[in-house]
């Protein structure tokens, strides 16, 4: 399959053959599995204190003549602690048991639970190739409301662009709108430092770590940047939904084909 290459002026420069990674079958099930592995490995272990809710005495005797006992008082068998006393008369309040004030949780999160998951190397590579192929798949792009007639977007000398203004000029010449919508999150996340939810926009892929465009674009809302050999399913298919708009540098396409990335033992 041939693809058009554009220059930094937004004009058609030449045509190139797409690497075989673009001709992979789109497997949404494998993409989702690889995505969930990445997400689970990012998750931090957490759990409550091992003595939370039980760091005080909460015993209550049920024996007939036990001192400080509750036998014959007509109260439930909930563990209790003494609040005050009058001689041999004691005033209790429920403690320790779930459902009592200050008591332990019934089934607290365990801090030693292992959240991480694993995936086979070839399966992970298959998922990446499948997500790359989905970036030019008409059905996948239609689901994300992206015009499939514009993809794939390959730009030569893109890596030498060192200003965000210049990058935006190239996008406007190609009639690409990379605006990302932001909305206020529902729920208590607004109180915890994550007030806004922002939709993902395009992914910019380059061939090397020192490309100027990486610094120029990294603060653009909703836009991600990556080196071609560091691609993963989370970048290619945010939310495990394939069909992201990807802007490739010509050097990245050439590297993808030359080094046969995401095949074999790499």
CATH label of the domain that carries residue 38: 3.40.1370.10
Residue 266 lies in a domain: no
Q: Cβ distance 130 to 30 under 8 Å?
A: yes
What is the C-alpha to C-alpha distance for residues 175 and 183, in angstroms, rounded to an integer? Answer: 25
Same domain, 97 and 16: no
Domain ranges, residue 175: 2-44+115-258
Residue 251 lies in a domain: yes
Same domain, 189 and 131: yes
State which of 94, 112, 130 marks the end of a domain: 112
Residue 221 lies in a domain: yes
pLDDT digit string, tens, across residues 25-43: 999 999 999 999 999 999 9
Same domain, 16 and 140: yes
DSSP classification of residue 35: H
Same domain, 168 and 254: yes
With a cut of 80, say whether residue 57 has pLDDT above it: no
pLDDT (0 to 100) of residue 102: 87
Same domain, 106 and 126: no
Residue 265 lies in a domain: no
Nearest of 117, 120, 116, 133 to residue 231 by alpha carbon: 133
Q: What is the mean pLDDT of residues 142-165?
A: 87
pLDDT bucket at 117, cuts 50 / 70 / 90: very high
pLDDT (0 to 100) of residue 231: 94
Q: How many domains does the chain have?
A: 2
Residue 32 lies in a domain: yes
Same domain, 189 and 93: no
Same domain, 119 and 87: no
Nearest of 255, 266, 246 to residue 228 by alpha carbon: 255
Nearest of 161, 251, 260 to residue 208 by alpha carbon: 251
Same domain, 98 and 165: no
pLDDT (0 to 100) of residue 31: 96
pLDDT bucket at 266, cuts 50 / 70 / 90: low
Which percentage of the chain shows pLDDT scores above 70? 99
Nearest of 209, 199, 183 to residue 244 by alpha carbon: 199
pLDDT (0 to 100) of residue 1: 80
pLDDT bucket at 265, cuts 50 / 70 / 90: low
Residue 263 lies in a domain: no
Nearest of 255, 258, 234 to residue 124 by alpha carbon: 234
pLDDT bucket at 115, cuts 50 / 70 / 90: very high
Same domain, 13 and 69: no
pLDDT bucket at 54, cuts 50 / 70 / 90: confident
Q: What is the mean pLDDT of residues 246-257?
A: 92
pLDDT (0 to 100) of residue 252: 93
Same domain, 203 and 76: no
Residue 21 lies in a domain: yes
Q: What is the mean pLDDT of residues 206-233?
A: 90
Residue 224 lies in a domain: yes
Average pLDDT of the residues of the chain: 89
Same domain, 157 and 249: yes
Same domain, 37 and 61: no
């Amino acid at each position: 399959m041939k693809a058009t290459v554009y220059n930094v002026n937004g004009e058609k420069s030449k045509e190139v053959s797409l690497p075989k990674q673009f001709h992979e079958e789109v497997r949404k099930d494998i993409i989702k599995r690889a995505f969930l592995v990445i997400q689970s490995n990012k998750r931090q272990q957490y759990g409550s204190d091992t003595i939370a809710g039980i760091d005080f005495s909460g015993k209550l005797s049920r024996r007939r003549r036990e001192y400080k006992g509750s036998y014959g008082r007509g109260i439930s068998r909930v563990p209790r602690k003494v609040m005050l006393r009058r001689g041999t008369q004691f005033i209790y309040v429920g403690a320790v048991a779930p459902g009592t004030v200050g008591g332990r949780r019934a089934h607290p999160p365990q801090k030693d639970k292992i959240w991480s998951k694993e995936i086979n190397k070839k399966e992970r590579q298959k998922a990446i190739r499948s997500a790359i192929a989905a970036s030019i798949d008409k059905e996948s792009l239609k689901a994300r409301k992206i015009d499939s007639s514009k993809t794939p977007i390959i730009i030569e000398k893109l890596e030498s662009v060192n200003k965000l203004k210049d990058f935006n000029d190239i996008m406007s010449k190609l009639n690409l709108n990379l605006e990302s919508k932001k909305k206020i999150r529902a729920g208590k996340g607004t109180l915890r430092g994550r007030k806004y939810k922002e939709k993902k926009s395009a992914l910019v892929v380059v061939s090397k770590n020192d490309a100027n465009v990486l610094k120029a674009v990294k603060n653009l809302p909703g836009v991600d940047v990556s080196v071609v050999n560091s691609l993963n399913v989370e970048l290619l298919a945010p939310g495990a939904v394939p069909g992201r708009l990807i802007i490739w540098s010509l050097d990245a396409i050439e590297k993808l084909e030359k080094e046969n990335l995401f095949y074999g033992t790499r």
